[in-house]
Amino acid sequence: MAAFDTGSTAFMLLATSLVMLMTPGLAFFYGGLAGKRNILGIMIQSFVSMGITTILWYVCGYSLCFSGNAMGGIIGDLNKCFMHGVRLDTPFAGNPKMPEFVFFAYQMMFAIITPALITGAFINRITFKSYLVFLVLWQVLVYYPFAHMVWGGGLLAQWGVRDFAGGIVVHATAGFAALASVIYVGKRRDRESPPNSIPLIAIGTGLLWFGWYGFNAGSELDVDAITGQAFINTDVAASFACITWLVIEWSLVKKPKFVGLLTGAVAGLATITPAAGFVTLNSAVIIGVAAGAVCYLAVSLKNKMGWDDALDVWGVHGIGGCLGTILLGVFGAKSINPSGFDGLKYGGGSFFMHQTVAVVVACVYAYVFTYGMLYLINLFTKVKVGEVDEEAGLDAAIHGEQAYDAGVV
Protein backbone atom coordinates (compact mmCIF):
# COMPACT_ATOMS: atom_id res chain seq x y z
CA MET A 1 0.00 0.00 0.00
CA ALA A 2 1.24 3.49 -0.89
CA ALA A 3 2.69 5.54 1.97
CA PHE A 4 0.79 8.80 2.16
CA ASP A 5 1.82 11.91 4.08
CA THR A 6 -0.26 11.87 7.24
CA GLY A 7 -0.03 15.65 7.71
CA SER A 8 -1.32 16.54 4.25
CA THR A 9 -3.99 13.84 4.38
CA ALA A 10 -5.19 14.90 7.83
CA PHE A 11 -5.30 18.56 6.80
CA MET A 12 -7.38 17.79 3.73
CA LEU A 13 -9.78 15.67 5.76
CA LEU A 14 -10.16 18.62 8.14
CA ALA A 15 -10.68 21.02 5.23
CA THR A 16 -13.29 18.64 3.80
CA SER A 17 -15.12 18.64 7.12
CA LEU A 18 -15.06 22.45 7.25
CA VAL A 19 -16.55 22.74 3.76
CA MET A 20 -19.20 20.18 4.69
CA LEU A 21 -20.14 22.38 7.67
CA MET A 22 -20.81 25.28 5.31
CA THR A 23 -23.97 23.69 3.91
CA PRO A 24 -25.72 23.49 7.32
CA GLY A 25 -24.31 26.98 7.93
CA LEU A 26 -25.96 28.16 4.73
CA ALA A 27 -29.21 26.55 5.86
CA PHE A 28 -29.08 28.49 9.13
CA PHE A 29 -28.16 31.70 7.29
CA TYR A 30 -31.05 31.37 4.86
CA GLY A 31 -33.38 29.98 7.52
CA GLY A 32 -32.84 33.07 9.67
CA LEU A 33 -33.46 35.40 6.73
CA ALA A 34 -36.66 33.61 5.76
CA GLY A 35 -40.11 34.56 6.99
CA LYS A 36 -41.42 32.40 9.82
CA ARG A 37 -43.72 30.38 7.52
CA ASN A 38 -40.88 29.30 5.20
CA ILE A 39 -37.95 28.46 7.47
CA LEU A 40 -38.02 24.70 7.02
CA GLY A 41 -38.80 24.96 3.32
CA ILE A 42 -35.55 26.83 2.65
CA MET A 43 -33.45 24.80 5.10
CA ILE A 44 -34.44 21.42 3.67
CA GLN A 45 -33.29 22.54 0.23
CA SER A 46 -29.73 22.82 1.59
CA PHE A 47 -29.81 19.62 3.60
CA VAL A 48 -31.33 17.51 0.81
CA SER A 49 -28.42 18.52 -1.43
CA MET A 50 -26.09 16.76 0.98
CA GLY A 51 -27.85 13.49 0.26
CA ILE A 52 -28.70 13.72 -3.42
CA THR A 53 -25.44 15.35 -4.50
CA THR A 54 -23.38 12.72 -2.69
CA ILE A 55 -25.22 9.96 -4.56
CA LEU A 56 -24.85 11.77 -7.87
CA TRP A 57 -21.17 12.52 -7.22
CA TYR A 58 -20.45 8.85 -6.54
CA VAL A 59 -22.41 7.64 -9.56
CA CYS A 60 -21.00 9.99 -12.21
CA GLY A 61 -20.27 13.50 -10.93
CA TYR A 62 -16.68 12.99 -9.87
CA SER A 63 -15.87 11.25 -13.12
CA LEU A 64 -17.46 13.93 -15.29
CA CYS A 65 -15.47 16.61 -13.47
CA PHE A 66 -12.10 14.96 -12.92
CA SER A 67 -11.62 12.11 -15.38
CA GLY A 68 -10.38 12.55 -18.92
CA ASN A 69 -11.43 15.17 -21.45
CA ALA A 70 -14.47 14.98 -23.72
CA MET A 71 -16.25 17.39 -26.05
CA GLY A 72 -13.13 19.48 -26.56
CA GLY A 73 -12.42 19.81 -22.85
CA ILE A 74 -15.91 20.91 -21.82
CA ILE A 75 -16.64 17.83 -19.72
CA GLY A 76 -14.86 14.74 -18.45
CA ASP A 77 -15.53 11.09 -19.28
CA LEU A 78 -17.28 8.25 -17.46
CA ASN A 79 -14.22 6.16 -16.64
CA LYS A 80 -14.44 6.76 -12.90
CA CYS A 81 -18.17 6.33 -12.43
CA PHE A 82 -18.87 4.57 -9.13
CA MET A 83 -15.18 5.30 -8.36
CA HIS A 84 -14.18 2.59 -10.80
CA GLY A 85 -10.44 1.92 -10.70
CA VAL A 86 -9.85 4.05 -7.60
CA ARG A 87 -8.45 1.85 -4.83
CA LEU A 88 -7.67 2.53 -1.21
CA ASP A 89 -4.02 3.16 -2.09
CA THR A 90 -4.59 5.14 -5.31
CA PRO A 91 -2.74 8.48 -4.97
CA PHE A 92 -4.34 11.73 -6.08
CA ALA A 93 -2.54 12.81 -9.26
CA GLY A 94 -2.53 16.48 -8.21
CA ASN A 95 -0.82 15.70 -4.91
CA PRO A 96 0.43 12.10 -4.53
CA LYS A 97 0.92 12.67 -0.80
CA MET A 98 -2.79 11.95 -0.23
CA PRO A 99 -5.21 9.29 -1.50
CA GLU A 100 -7.60 10.10 -4.32
CA PHE A 101 -10.54 9.23 -2.07
CA VAL A 102 -9.77 12.33 0.01
CA PHE A 103 -9.83 14.58 -3.07
CA PHE A 104 -13.08 12.90 -4.11
CA ALA A 105 -14.63 13.80 -0.76
CA TYR A 106 -13.26 17.35 -0.73
CA GLN A 107 -14.60 18.25 -4.15
CA MET A 108 -17.92 16.61 -3.33
CA MET A 109 -18.50 19.21 -0.63
CA PHE A 110 -18.17 22.00 -3.23
CA ALA A 111 -20.70 20.24 -5.45
CA ILE A 112 -23.11 20.00 -2.50
CA ILE A 113 -23.13 23.66 -1.52
CA THR A 114 -23.14 25.27 -4.98
CA PRO A 115 -26.76 24.53 -6.00
CA ALA A 116 -27.87 25.16 -2.41
CA LEU A 117 -26.64 28.76 -2.80
CA ILE A 118 -29.23 29.34 -5.51
CA THR A 119 -32.17 28.50 -3.25
CA GLY A 120 -32.11 31.80 -1.37
CA ALA A 121 -33.26 33.62 -4.49
CA PHE A 122 -36.56 31.79 -5.00
CA ILE A 123 -37.54 31.18 -1.39
CA ASN A 124 -41.23 30.20 -0.87
CA ARG A 125 -41.96 30.18 -4.61
CA ILE A 126 -41.05 26.75 -6.00
CA THR A 127 -42.31 23.26 -5.30
CA PHE A 128 -40.03 20.78 -3.58
CA LYS A 129 -40.49 18.19 -6.33
CA SER A 130 -39.36 20.60 -9.04
CA TYR A 131 -36.39 21.64 -6.88
CA LEU A 132 -35.19 18.04 -6.66
CA VAL A 133 -35.28 17.73 -10.45
CA PHE A 134 -33.55 21.11 -10.76
CA LEU A 135 -30.87 20.04 -8.27
CA VAL A 136 -29.85 17.08 -10.42
CA LEU A 137 -30.09 18.73 -13.84
CA TRP A 138 -28.32 21.93 -12.78
CA GLN A 139 -25.32 20.04 -11.51
CA VAL A 140 -25.02 17.89 -14.61
CA LEU A 141 -25.56 20.70 -17.12
CA VAL A 142 -23.93 23.66 -15.35
CA TYR A 143 -21.76 22.77 -12.37
CA TYR A 144 -20.00 19.71 -13.79
CA PRO A 145 -18.90 21.37 -17.06
CA PHE A 146 -17.41 24.39 -15.29
CA ALA A 147 -15.79 22.31 -12.57
CA HIS A 148 -14.13 20.28 -15.30
CA MET A 149 -13.20 23.22 -17.52
CA VAL A 150 -11.58 25.13 -14.65
CA TRP A 151 -10.38 22.52 -12.13
CA GLY A 152 -10.36 19.28 -14.10
CA GLY A 153 -7.78 20.29 -16.71
CA GLY A 154 -10.43 21.23 -19.24
CA LEU A 155 -10.89 24.01 -21.76
CA LEU A 156 -10.66 27.09 -19.53
CA ALA A 157 -7.71 25.77 -17.53
CA GLN A 158 -5.84 25.11 -20.76
CA TRP A 159 -6.65 28.63 -21.91
CA GLY A 160 -4.98 30.05 -18.80
CA VAL A 161 -7.99 30.81 -16.58
CA ARG A 162 -7.45 30.50 -12.83
CA ASP A 163 -10.00 30.15 -10.05
CA PHE A 164 -8.44 29.21 -6.73
CA ALA A 165 -11.56 28.05 -4.89
CA GLY A 166 -14.69 28.82 -6.88
CA GLY A 167 -15.30 32.38 -8.05
CA ILE A 168 -16.41 31.08 -11.45
CA VAL A 169 -17.24 27.46 -10.67
CA VAL A 170 -19.29 28.16 -7.53
CA HIS A 171 -20.33 31.78 -7.00
CA ALA A 172 -20.70 33.27 -10.50
CA THR A 173 -22.63 30.29 -11.84
CA ALA A 174 -24.86 30.03 -8.76
CA GLY A 175 -25.44 33.79 -8.62
CA PHE A 176 -26.56 34.14 -12.21
CA ALA A 177 -28.58 30.93 -12.00
CA ALA A 178 -30.31 32.60 -9.06
CA LEU A 179 -31.09 35.66 -11.17
CA ALA A 180 -32.53 33.48 -13.94
CA SER A 181 -34.66 31.68 -11.35
CA VAL A 182 -36.00 34.96 -10.01
CA ILE A 183 -36.90 36.20 -13.48
CA TYR A 184 -38.62 32.90 -14.26
CA VAL A 185 -40.70 32.44 -11.09
CA GLY A 186 -41.52 36.11 -10.61
CA LYS A 187 -42.12 38.05 -7.42
CA ARG A 188 -43.44 36.87 -4.08
CA ARG A 189 -46.96 37.93 -3.20
CA ASP A 190 -45.75 39.05 0.23
CA ARG A 191 -42.39 40.82 -0.06
CA GLU A 192 -42.60 42.48 3.35
CA SER A 193 -41.88 39.33 5.35
CA PRO A 194 -39.00 40.25 7.71
CA PRO A 195 -36.21 37.85 8.80
CA ASN A 196 -37.58 35.54 11.46
CA SER A 197 -34.33 35.26 13.43
CA ILE A 198 -31.32 37.55 13.14
CA PRO A 199 -29.42 35.45 15.73
CA LEU A 200 -29.90 32.45 13.41
CA ILE A 201 -28.43 34.51 10.55
CA ALA A 202 -25.44 35.28 12.79
CA ILE A 203 -24.95 31.59 13.61
CA GLY A 204 -25.09 30.75 9.91
CA THR A 205 -22.59 33.49 9.07
CA GLY A 206 -20.24 32.24 11.76
CA LEU A 207 -20.38 28.69 10.41
CA LEU A 208 -19.87 29.92 6.85
CA TRP A 209 -16.89 32.10 7.83
CA PHE A 210 -15.36 29.23 9.81
CA GLY A 211 -15.96 26.71 7.03
CA TRP A 212 -14.58 29.09 4.41
CA TYR A 213 -11.06 28.50 5.74
CA GLY A 214 -11.41 24.93 4.52
CA PHE A 215 -13.03 26.19 1.32
CA ASN A 216 -10.16 28.51 0.44
CA ALA A 217 -7.06 27.34 2.31
CA GLY A 218 -7.90 23.72 1.54
CA SER A 219 -7.99 24.48 -2.18
CA GLU A 220 -4.19 24.52 -2.21
CA LEU A 221 -4.60 20.73 -1.74
CA ASP A 222 -1.46 20.67 0.41
CA VAL A 223 0.04 22.28 3.49
CA ASP A 224 2.50 25.01 2.54
CA ALA A 225 2.98 28.78 2.53
CA ILE A 226 0.25 29.28 -0.08
CA THR A 227 -2.17 27.51 2.25
CA GLY A 228 -1.39 30.08 4.93
CA GLN A 229 -1.67 32.94 2.43
CA ALA A 230 -5.11 31.77 1.31
CA PHE A 231 -6.21 31.43 4.95
CA ILE A 232 -5.25 34.96 6.02
CA ASN A 233 -6.43 36.51 2.75
CA THR A 234 -9.84 34.95 3.40
CA ASP A 235 -10.17 36.42 6.88
CA VAL A 236 -8.85 39.86 5.95
CA ALA A 237 -11.09 40.25 2.88
CA ALA A 238 -14.18 39.23 4.85
CA SER A 239 -13.32 41.63 7.67
CA PHE A 240 -12.75 44.63 5.40
CA ALA A 241 -15.88 43.80 3.40
CA CYS A 242 -18.19 43.58 6.40
CA ILE A 243 -16.96 46.89 7.83
CA THR A 244 -17.20 48.57 4.42
CA TRP A 245 -20.81 47.38 4.06
CA LEU A 246 -21.59 48.50 7.62
CA VAL A 247 -20.16 51.99 7.06
CA ILE A 248 -21.95 52.50 3.72
CA GLU A 249 -25.31 51.35 5.05
CA TRP A 250 -24.91 53.28 8.31
CA SER A 251 -24.17 56.47 6.40
CA LEU A 252 -27.22 56.01 4.17
CA VAL A 253 -29.90 54.70 6.55
CA LYS A 254 -28.45 56.25 9.75
CA LYS A 255 -28.53 52.90 11.59
CA PRO A 256 -25.71 50.33 12.00
CA LYS A 257 -27.47 47.19 10.72
CA PHE A 258 -26.37 43.78 12.02
CA VAL A 259 -27.79 41.93 9.01
CA GLY A 260 -25.83 44.30 6.76
CA LEU A 261 -22.61 43.54 8.63
CA LEU A 262 -23.22 39.80 8.27
CA THR A 263 -24.14 40.09 4.58
CA GLY A 264 -21.01 42.14 3.93
CA ALA A 265 -18.87 39.41 5.49
CA VAL A 266 -20.35 36.80 3.16
CA ALA A 267 -19.79 39.13 0.20
CA GLY A 268 -16.12 39.46 1.15
CA LEU A 269 -15.76 35.70 1.51
CA ALA A 270 -17.33 35.08 -1.90
CA THR A 271 -15.23 37.75 -3.59
CA ILE A 272 -11.83 36.64 -2.26
CA THR A 273 -12.55 32.99 -3.12
CA PRO A 274 -11.11 32.91 -6.68
CA ALA A 275 -8.05 34.96 -5.68
CA ALA A 276 -7.26 33.66 -2.18
CA GLY A 277 -4.12 31.72 -3.06
CA PHE A 278 -2.94 33.96 -5.89
CA VAL A 279 -2.71 37.48 -4.41
CA THR A 280 -0.81 39.37 -1.71
CA LEU A 281 -2.31 40.33 1.62
CA ASN A 282 -2.45 44.00 0.55
CA SER A 283 -4.41 42.99 -2.53
CA ALA A 284 -6.82 41.02 -0.32
CA VAL A 285 -7.51 44.23 1.60
CA ILE A 286 -8.43 46.03 -1.62
CA ILE A 287 -10.57 43.11 -2.77
CA GLY A 288 -12.40 43.11 0.57
CA VAL A 289 -13.18 46.83 0.41
CA ALA A 290 -14.31 46.46 -3.21
CA ALA A 291 -16.52 43.51 -2.25
CA GLY A 292 -18.31 45.45 0.47
CA ALA A 293 -18.95 48.45 -1.76
CA VAL A 294 -19.74 46.75 -5.08
CA CYS A 295 -21.98 44.03 -3.63
CA TYR A 296 -23.88 46.65 -1.63
CA LEU A 297 -24.45 48.62 -4.84
CA ALA A 298 -25.50 45.43 -6.64
CA VAL A 299 -28.14 44.73 -4.00
CA SER A 300 -29.33 48.33 -4.31
CA LEU A 301 -29.56 47.93 -8.09
CA LYS A 302 -31.54 44.71 -7.65
CA ASN A 303 -34.02 46.56 -5.45
CA LYS A 304 -34.30 49.39 -7.95
CA MET A 305 -34.91 46.94 -10.81
CA GLY A 306 -37.60 45.14 -8.81
CA TRP A 307 -35.95 41.71 -9.03
CA ASP A 308 -37.26 39.66 -6.13
CA ASP A 309 -34.00 37.92 -5.26
CA ALA A 310 -35.22 37.40 -1.72
CA LEU A 311 -31.89 36.68 -0.01
CA ASP A 312 -29.59 38.60 -2.38
CA VAL A 313 -27.87 35.60 -3.95
CA TRP A 314 -27.15 37.47 -7.18
CA GLY A 315 -25.85 40.62 -5.53
CA VAL A 316 -23.64 38.83 -2.99
CA HIS A 317 -22.53 35.58 -4.62
CA GLY A 318 -22.99 36.31 -8.32
CA ILE A 319 -21.47 39.79 -8.34
CA GLY A 320 -18.95 38.82 -5.66
CA GLY A 321 -17.73 35.85 -7.69
CA CYS A 322 -17.47 37.94 -10.86
CA LEU A 323 -15.68 40.79 -9.08
CA GLY A 324 -13.18 38.47 -7.42
CA THR A 325 -12.43 36.65 -10.67
CA ILE A 326 -11.81 39.91 -12.52
CA LEU A 327 -9.74 41.39 -9.67
CA LEU A 328 -7.61 38.25 -9.73
CA GLY A 329 -6.86 39.30 -13.30
CA VAL A 330 -5.69 42.63 -11.85
CA PHE A 331 -3.81 41.55 -8.71
CA GLY A 332 -2.65 38.01 -9.48
CA ALA A 333 1.04 37.60 -8.61
CA LYS A 334 3.30 34.72 -9.63
CA SER A 335 5.54 35.71 -6.73
CA ILE A 336 2.77 34.44 -4.45
CA ASN A 337 1.84 31.35 -6.46
CA PRO A 338 3.96 30.15 -9.40
CA SER A 339 1.02 28.15 -10.76
CA GLY A 340 -0.90 31.38 -11.35
CA PHE A 341 -0.24 34.35 -13.62
CA ASP A 342 0.71 37.96 -13.13
CA GLY A 343 -2.31 40.22 -13.32
CA LEU A 344 -2.77 43.63 -14.91
CA LYS A 345 -0.91 45.30 -12.05
CA TYR A 346 2.21 43.33 -12.99
CA GLY A 347 1.85 43.57 -16.75
CA GLY A 348 -0.39 40.56 -17.29
CA GLY A 349 -2.92 42.07 -19.68
CA SER A 350 -3.74 38.78 -21.38
CA PHE A 351 -4.49 37.10 -18.04
CA PHE A 352 -6.89 39.90 -17.15
CA MET A 353 -8.65 39.41 -20.49
CA HIS A 354 -8.89 35.64 -19.99
CA GLN A 355 -10.40 36.07 -16.53
CA THR A 356 -12.94 38.63 -17.72
CA VAL A 357 -14.03 36.66 -20.77
CA ALA A 358 -14.30 33.42 -18.78
CA VAL A 359 -16.50 34.88 -16.07
CA VAL A 360 -18.79 36.57 -18.61
CA VAL A 361 -19.18 33.26 -20.48
CA ALA A 362 -19.90 31.44 -17.21
CA CYS A 363 -22.58 33.96 -16.21
CA VAL A 364 -24.33 33.91 -19.57
CA TYR A 365 -24.19 30.10 -19.75
CA ALA A 366 -25.54 29.67 -16.21
CA TYR A 367 -28.33 32.19 -16.77
CA VAL A 368 -29.49 30.76 -20.11
CA PHE A 369 -29.29 27.10 -19.09
CA THR A 370 -31.01 27.73 -15.77
CA TYR A 371 -33.91 29.62 -17.32
CA GLY A 372 -34.30 26.99 -20.03
CA MET A 373 -34.08 24.20 -17.49
CA LEU A 374 -36.87 25.65 -15.33
CA TYR A 375 -39.04 26.08 -18.43
CA LEU A 376 -38.55 22.43 -19.38
CA ILE A 377 -39.08 21.15 -15.84
CA ASN A 378 -42.36 23.06 -15.70
CA LEU A 379 -43.61 21.06 -18.69
CA PHE A 380 -43.49 17.89 -16.57
CA THR A 381 -44.01 19.09 -13.01
CA LYS A 382 -45.19 22.45 -11.78
CA VAL A 383 -42.30 24.71 -10.73
CA LYS A 384 -44.07 27.60 -9.03
CA VAL A 385 -46.25 26.98 -6.00
CA GLY A 386 -49.92 27.96 -6.06
CA GLU A 387 -51.25 31.12 -4.48
CA VAL A 388 -52.89 29.27 -1.57
CA ASP A 389 -49.68 27.40 -0.68
CA GLU A 390 -47.59 30.53 -0.94
CA GLU A 391 -49.94 32.42 1.36
CA ALA A 392 -49.97 29.58 3.87
CA GLY A 393 -46.20 29.18 3.75
CA LEU A 394 -44.33 26.18 2.37
CA ASP A 395 -43.46 24.75 5.77
CA ALA A 396 -47.08 23.79 6.38
CA ALA A 397 -48.34 23.53 2.80
CA ILE A 398 -45.63 21.28 1.38
CA HIS A 399 -43.74 19.80 4.33
CA GLY A 400 -46.49 19.57 6.93
CA GLU A 401 -44.17 20.91 9.63
CA GLN A 402 -43.46 24.20 11.34
CA ALA A 403 -40.29 25.62 12.82
CA TYR A 404 -41.90 27.05 15.94
CA ASP A 405 -44.95 26.27 18.01
CA ALA A 406 -47.88 28.57 17.36
CA GLY A 407 -47.50 31.82 19.28
CA VAL A 408 -43.76 31.41 19.91
CA VAL A 409 -42.69 33.79 17.15
CATH code of residue 62: 1.10.3430.10
Closest C-alpha among 389, 271, 367 to residue 328: 271
**Within-domain flag for 96:** yes
Q: What is the C-alpha to C-alpha distance for residues 131 and 375, in angstroms, rounded to an integer?
A: 13
Contact 172, 318 (CB under 8 A): yes
pLDDT of residue 407: 58
Contact assessment for residue 292 and residue 245, using Cβ atoms and an 8 Å cutoff: yes
> Which of 98, 101, 102 lies closest to 80 in space, CA to CA?
101
The CA distance from 376 to 215, in Å, is 33
**Is 401 inside a domain boundary?**
no
407 in any annotated domain: no
Q: Quote the pLDDT of residue 188.
A: 86
Residue 137 located in a structural domain = yes
Total tally of structural domains belonging to the chain: 1
Residue 98 lies inside a defined structural domain of this protein: yes
- C-alpha distances (whole Å) from 172 to each of 184, 309, 326, 335, 373 are 18, 15, 11, 27, 18
Q: Report pLDDT for 237.
A: 98
The pLDDT, as a whole number, for residue 324 is 98
Is residue 148 in a domain? yes
Q: What is the pLDDT of residue 405?
A: 77
| Binned average pLDDT, 10 residues per bin, the chain of 409 residues | 88 98 97 94 97 98 97 97 96 96 98 97 94 98 98 97 98 98 90 86 98 98 98 98 98 97 98 98 98 98 93 97 98 97 96 98 98 97 94 94 74
First vs last Cα of the chain: how many Å apart? Answer: 57
> What count of residues does the chain have?
409
Asked if residue 122 is part of any domain, the answer here is yes
160 close to 350: Cβ distance less than 8 angstroms: yes
Q: What is the pLDDT at residue 173?
A: 98
Return the DSSP state at 307. -
Domain that holds residue 298: 6-394
What pLDDT is attached to residue 321? 98
Provide the pLDDT for residue 189: 80
408 in a structural domain: no
pLDDT recorded at residue 2 = 65
